[in-house]
Amino acid sequence: MNKNRLEAFSDGVLAIIITIMILEIKAPEESSFESLKPLIPALLSYVLSFAYIGIYWNNHHHMFQVVKKINGSILWSNMFLLFWLSLIPFGTSWIGEHHFAAVPMSIYGFILFMAAISYTILQNKIIKLEGPDSILQKAVEKDIKGKISATCYILAIPLAFVSPWISGLLYITVALLWIIPDARIEKQINKI
């Protein structure tokens, strides 16, 4: 089974997710600089979510480069990942409109956590099919970044009720951690 269409479909969904979020940022009623001020939370949440979708696209791209074959179970794991990512625009507009209030920040973390879990499931399904000697297996052997991210999300969900800013900092930290492109896979590829 061919991986090209899975990549193309995922690219399509990610491209739409990354783009439609801007539809939620309505042009201000007035034409002054001050009228931009109330949009700042929406803009910040857009930047954060744009970065996250960018990260997922990037990692998805890296991961599928080493994939040779796919099967039905990989197709559905990928769909499950796309489902959770598709909820990001909802989370984004909620945290933006409510200035990063506790409950929306917590739910946003939950969506990110579920996306991370789905990504790990997808990764494991691929490794299972490719075999223990696959490049991907070696590349993500310890998956430290993945574990740190999941831990940050788990912490951020309840900590939003202590202070939403802690959660916000955790989300930004994870994003920065990943914006450094996944050198692990690149390294393994270069070894060959």
- Say which amino acid occupies 183: A
Residue 161 touching a second copy (CB under 8 A): no
94 binds a second copy (CB under 8 A): yes
Considering only the stretches 51-59, 121-129, 136-144, 166-174, report the one whose residues sit in contact with a second copy under the rule CB under 8 A.
51-59
CA-closest candidate to residue 61, choices 103, 108, 128, 15: 15
- Report which residue type is found at 160: A
Query: Phi/psi of residue 75, each to 5°?
Result: -55, -45
d(CA 81, CA 16): 15
16 binds a second copy (CB under 8 A): yes
Q: What is the DSSP string of 74-88?
A: HHHHHHHHHHHHHTH
Q: Which of 44, 107, 114, 177 binds a second copy (CB under 8 A)?
A: 107
The CB-of-133 to a second copy minimum distance in angstroms stands at 22
The answer to whether 88 and 49 are in contact (CB under 8 A) is yes
- Local structure of 66: helix, strand or coil: coil
For residue 177, the Cα-to-chain-centroid distance in whole angstroms is 12
Nearer to a second copy, 31 or 142 (CB): 31
With binding defined as CB under 8 A, does residue 133 bind a second copy?
no
Q: Which of 41, 44, 90, 130 binds a second copy (CB under 8 A)?
A: 90
Q: What is the DSSP letter of 134?
A: S
- Please identify which residue in 128, 146, 154, 182 interacts with a second copy, judged by CB under 8 A: 182
Quick one: which segment of 28-36, 113-121, 143-151, 166-174 binds a second copy (CB under 8 A)?
A: 28-36
Residues contacting a second copy: total by CB under 8 A: 64
In the bound state with a second copy, the residue whose beta carbon lies nearer, of 6 and 112, is 6
